[in-house]
Structure 1
Amino acid sequence: MPQYSRWQVLAVWAAAALPMALMAWVVVPLCATPEEGNVAWVKWLIGGLTLGLVWQGLLVAALVWAERGNLRWRTLKDALWLHAPTHPRTGRRGGLLWLVCLPLMAGLWLSGALPEPDHSPWRDFGVFLQSDAGRAFFAGNWIWYGVVAVMLVFNTVLGEELLFRGLLLPRMNHAFGRVDWLVNGVLFALYHLHTPWVIPAAVLDAFWFAGPSKYYRSAWIGIVVHSTASVAILVLLWPVVWAQRG
């Protein structure tokens, strides 16, 4: 596996983090005027962050192409650790090893329950979904449900996880040695400049995503565990969208 220098790791981190922060703190405030109301603000925020996450997927594809010369599935599997988890001592692959995801999911949900610093509720998608305005906006709104689905797919499958656990983590060992997984987790937490209130709890993601992905040499571990939150959002949002406006 080709290795990145520390500066290359930071460059990829910046290429992922800075566009998201720019969208959240510069572009959205410029586009969503106070006269349009808070729903317009949330629409611009969802749309902007979705574009930022799609950009991450394209960035991964471009870097793999530059490194390997093609984007065939076999190439992607090797370049991005998209293999079933493999036990480092026995070499056994898949099967019951997938069960390691269960305690990791529990840890993720427990860390998500930690208190967060104060922040605007209109920047918090979860708070918006639980509000009357959020339920009214999504009632019968299949178009925006689709936009949210795209955002979540790129959030936990084709964007964040593919970039941090598929692209960066396998290429960080030369620069950071045995703590490469911990550095990966810290960088992932600091990447959340667009939602800085989650950074303290997100540091623990090193133990739910990065550490297990490194141990089993599989980005699928992080993808599966991280995606439980996306699936939960889509499931909980479904009955709201299904309901028709009164």
Structure 2
Amino acid sequence: MSLTRSLLFFGIPGLAILLGIWFGVPAASARGITLIVSWSAALWLPIVAMLGWTVWRHQREGLRQSFRDRFWLNSIEGKHWIAIIIGLFIVQSSEILLSPTGAYLTQFPLFAPPEIIPELFDPSFTPETGLSTFFGIPVRGNWWLVLFWLGWLLVNIGGEELLWRGYALPLQERYLGKWAWLVNGLCWNLLVHAFMRWNVLTLMPVSLIIPFLVQRYRNIWIGIVIHGVGNALVLVILIPAIAGWT
């Protein structure tokens, strides 16, 4: 996958998500469609569609490689766990340090958030304040939101890592060699996450560390674990809010 193809492969779904968040969500809201439905659809329909295409493409190629080998779904060894622990520490600590940059960048029109945004994605939100709503749904007593977020994680982590690292990164490596991880990470951050571009600096560490480690060890389970643990930490905020502890 050349640089041009990489820009298209990441940019097309990134543009679809951006348009869905900025224009589709307000249109859906005007028709009474809840935020939890409209935001989920805007974010994940392009990803699920592309993932389905990649699986079909793999089948069409005649199964020259098994799905496991083609998508780098290799077993996790001891050295992989060390890389995961170090990667998690760097990602989480750097995101905490860089999180104030999101609110700062929203001062500039280019980085302003969309008209309708869930509290969790709002750049002004801080974990200390606690969650009062979750994608527009009052959190107090709504335990089904935990199941919703677990389902969201399954699509988010499984879909993105299979797509961007499992499918795209090996193809990028053929053309870009040892620098494939850098192109992969920048495309993931700048193009796929354009819908929340005020977090461009906050997301840069995870955007680069995951593809670097996945390419280094040729194993997307590393990305799945780091990506999954990071996003699962939302439960640390969500569960106390549901239980009324905050």
TM-score range (shorter-chain normalised) is 0.7 to 0.9
> What residue identity is the alignment partner of 1:208?
I
CA spacing shift, 1:55–1:235, aligned 2, 3 Å: farther
Distance (Å, rounded) in 2 between the aligned partners of 1:132 and 1:148: 16
Gaps of 5+ in 2: 107-111
Deviates most, 24-33 or 143-152: 143-152
Q: Verify: 1:160 aligned to 2:141, yes or no.
A: no
Q: Verify: 1:27 aligned to 2:24, yes or no.
A: yes
Secondary structure at 2:141's aligned position in 1? Answer: coil
Distance (Å, rounded) in 2 between the aligned partners of 1:242 and 1:53: 32
Distance (Å, rounded) in 2 between the aligned partners of 1:142 and 1:69: 43
State the shift of 1:137 in Å: 1.2
State the shift of 1:143 in Å: 4.3
What is residue 90 of structure 1 aligned with on the other side? none
Gaps of 5+ in 1: 86-93
State the shift of 1:187 in Å: 0.6
CA contact (8 A) 1:104 1:208 kept: yes
Q: Which runs of 4+ in 1 moved over 6 A?
A: none
Q: Which deviations, in whole Å up to 9, do the C-alpha atoms of 1:29-72 show, x marking residues without a partner?
A: 11113x96xx94455223432334433432332232233449xx
State the shift of 1:18 in Å: 2.3
Which structure 2 residues correspond to residues 1-246 of structure 1 after superposition, within 5 A? 4-33=1-30, 40-41=34-35, 43-69=37-63, 75-84=66-75, 94-113=77-96, 114=98, 115-116=101-102, 117-118=105-106, 119-120=112-113, 122-123=117-118, 125-127=120-122, 130-134=130-134, 137-156=138-157, 158-190=158-190, 191-242=192-243
Q: Which deviations, in whole Å up to 9, do the C-alpha atoms of 1:3-22 show, x marking residues without a partner?
A: x2334333321343122112
CA spacing shift, 1:149–1:169, aligned 2, 3 Å: same
State the shift of 1:136 in Å: 6.5
> What residue identity is the alignment partner of 2:169?
L
Paired residues, what number? Answer: 226
Deviates most, 189-198 or 40-49: 40-49
> What residue identity is the alignment partner of 1:62?
W
CA contact (8 A) 1:42 1:122 kept: no
CA spacing shift, 1:182–1:204, aligned 2, 3 Å: same
CA spacing shift, 1:9–1:126, aligned 2, 3 Å: closer
Distance (Å, rounded) in 2 between the aligned partners of 1:240 and 1:96: 37
How many percent identity over aligned positions? 24
CA contact (8 A) 2:120 2:131 kept: no
State the shift of 1:103 in Å: 1.3
State the shift of 1:171 in Å: 0.9
CA spacing shift, 1:24–1:126, aligned 2, 3 Å: closer
State the shift of 1:192 in Å: 0.5
> What residue identity is the alignment partner of 1:9?
S
What is residue 109 of structure 2 aligned with on the other side? none
> What residue identity is the alignment partner of 1:12?
F
CA contact (8 A) 1:165 1:219 kept: yes
| TM-score under structure 1 length normalisation | 0.77
Q: Which deviations, in whole Å up to 9, do the C-alpha atoms of 1:223-244 show, x marking residues without a partner?
A: 1111112221134323434559
CA contact (8 A) 1:56 1:160 kept: no
CA contact (8 A) 1:149 1:234 kept: no
CA spacing shift, 1:25–1:126, aligned 2, 3 Å: closer
Distance (Å, rounded) in 1 between the aligned partners of 2:89 and 2:159: 23
